Amino acid sequence: MVQEHENIVGFDSAILMHPTVWKASGHVGNFIDVMVEDTITKERFRYDTLSDVQREQNLSPNGNPLSEPKNFNLMFSTSLGSTEESSMKVYLRPETAQGIYVNFKNVQQTSRLKLPFGIAQVGKAFRNELLFKNFIFRTCEFEQMEMQFFVHPQEDTKWFEHWKQLRMQYYKDIGIRESHLRFHEHRPDELAHYAKEACDVFYHFPFGWNEIEGIHNRSNFDLTQHSEFSKKDLSYQPEEGEKFIPCIIETSAGLTRTVLLVLCDAYRVEEIEGSARTVLQLHPRLAPYTIAVLPLVKKDGLAERAKQLFLSLQKEYSCAFDVNTSIGKRYRRQDEIGTPLCLTYDYDSLTDSSVTIRQRDTLKQERVAIHKINQYISDYVKTYGVDNA
């Protein structure tokens, strides 16, 4: 999002900001879940997830009476200050976005950015989520990858469409199956308090279709609010014409949730020659190790030579080194953690200065000269999904 775009810069804002930021953003008043409790089992439910019948009859999904609906603000708070009397209630950010908005003018002026331009950041967000299930799909502390794109008010819908397409392409580019991806357009009653139009990217998890990213047309809501609350002018002065408050198109992806989706999408159990093979078919750009260096056996100097090769490859690629157990078992071990390539240093390597490289996906094995290994890996990663998926 930053390196491959000429008009987007990276940023890292504060987690704790002045509480007025969250009043201006609308989070103090609007960032709430309405919850009800099963009066018998004490189980909690989000009111909007109950069926019409359950709401009318005031019954939980277990068939028991429900408590009165209560509002829960999702922001965590803490206090800033040395004494109880003088301390101020502050919030842990529930999204990274607001840190960008309040710094909009600093970044625009110091980086001499002209509209349209974006500010992106990856960072922790915190929400006092009351319901958990499905592993890391929803957690209290999670990582977001957000980008705020500032545009002329007459161009907001055009850029909203543009970013929708680019963000969908991102998931395809990291190797996610197209059949498991779709858009979910928000109906007017689903829109968040800041959104003029919104669309989610949905992924088909083993537990059903769910959101992985929100793309929002936030209009000029945020900068207008922050201008009013901070009494600072956050408008933009173009080279020609009147100044105006820019509109914001936001792409808001969950990094933690993307990790879960990548694992779900890559996990396979295949049958090969009558036995099961567990494989994590990760895109090589995402795999923890790009290549594993495996001496055929420990003895006769093979392990030492292979180690030398590992140490030189490690300067450029993330490499694993494994000498224990049979070569077949070591291949399977690497398949399970998604290593796309395995390199075996064998007895022939001592005389022909070549190694065998095995591909995780096709199980194809090729003899490659040692001085050509770097080129082989780099070509493999670059063309992955084009030639050899």
Stretch that binds ligand GAP, among 53-61, 99-107, 252-260, 355-363 (CB under 6 A): 252-260
Nearest CA to 123 out of 262, 239, 14 is that of 14
Least Å from the CB of residue 250 to ligand GAP: 6
283 is an interface residue for ligand GAP by CB under 6 A: no
For ligand GAP, give the closer residue by CB, 205 or 331: 205
Q: Which of 54, 235, 256, 314 binds ligand GAP (CB under 6 A)?
A: 256
| Local structure of 215: helix, strand or coil | strand
138 is an interface residue for ligand GAP by CB under 6 A: yes
Least Å from the CB of residue 252 to ligand GAP: 4
Token pair belonging to 81: 């200050």
146 is an interface residue for ligand GAP by CB under 6 A: yes
Nearest CA to 317 out of 349, 292, 298 is that of 292
* Contact by Cβ (8 Å): 94, 144: no
If 0-12 CB within 10 Å is exposed, 13-18 middle and 19+ buried, where does residue 91 land?
A: buried
218 is an interface residue for ligand GAP by CB under 6 A: no
118 is an interface residue for ligand GAP by CB under 6 A: no
Stretch that binds ligand GAP, among 80-88, 155-163, 246-254, 350-358 (CB under 6 A): 246-254
For ligand GAP, give the closer residue by CB, 37 or 146: 146
| Cα atoms found within 13 Å of the Cα of residue 191, Cβ hemisphere only | 13
CA angle 184, 186, 187 (to 5 degrees): 130
Q: Which of 123, 246, 254, 338 binds ligand GAP (CB under 6 A)?
A: 254
Least Å from the CB of residue 209 to ligand GAP: 13
Alpha carbons 268 and 377: distance in angstroms, whole number: 23
Residue 30, H or E segment: helix 27-30
The pairing of strands 354-359 and 267-272 is unpaired
Q: Which of 212, 247, 262, 296 binds ligand GAP (CB under 6 A)?
A: 212
Token pair belonging to 86: 């003088």
25 is an interface residue for ligand GAP by CB under 6 A: no
142 is an interface residue for ligand GAP by CB under 6 A: yes
322 is an interface residue for ligand GAP by CB under 6 A: no
Token pair belonging to 158: 């055009």
Kindly state the number of chain residues that form the binding site for ligand GAP, as judged by CB under 6 A.
19
For ligand GAP, give the closer residue by CB, 58 or 139: 139
Binding mask 82-101 for ligand GAP (x = CB under 6 A): -------------x-x----
Token pair belonging to 96: 């990274």
252 is an interface residue for ligand GAP by CB under 6 A: yes
Token pair belonging to 335: 């398949």
Q: Which of 139, 235, 312, 359 binds ligand GAP (CB under 6 A)?
A: 139
For ligand GAP, give the closer residue by CB, 33 or 322: 33
374 is an interface residue for ligand GAP by CB under 6 A: no
Q: Which long-range contacts (CB under 8 A, 24 or more apart) does 101-106 make?
A: 101/25, 101/148, 101/222, 101/223, 101/226, 101/234, 101/248, 102/13, 102/17, 102/21, 102/226, 102/230, 103/11, 103/13, 104/150, 104/223, 104/226, 104/234, 105/232, 105/234
Kindly list the residues in this chain that would bind ligand GAP in the complex (CB under 6 A). Answer: 95, 97, 127, 129, 138-139, 142, 144, 146, 211-214, 250, 252-254, 256-257
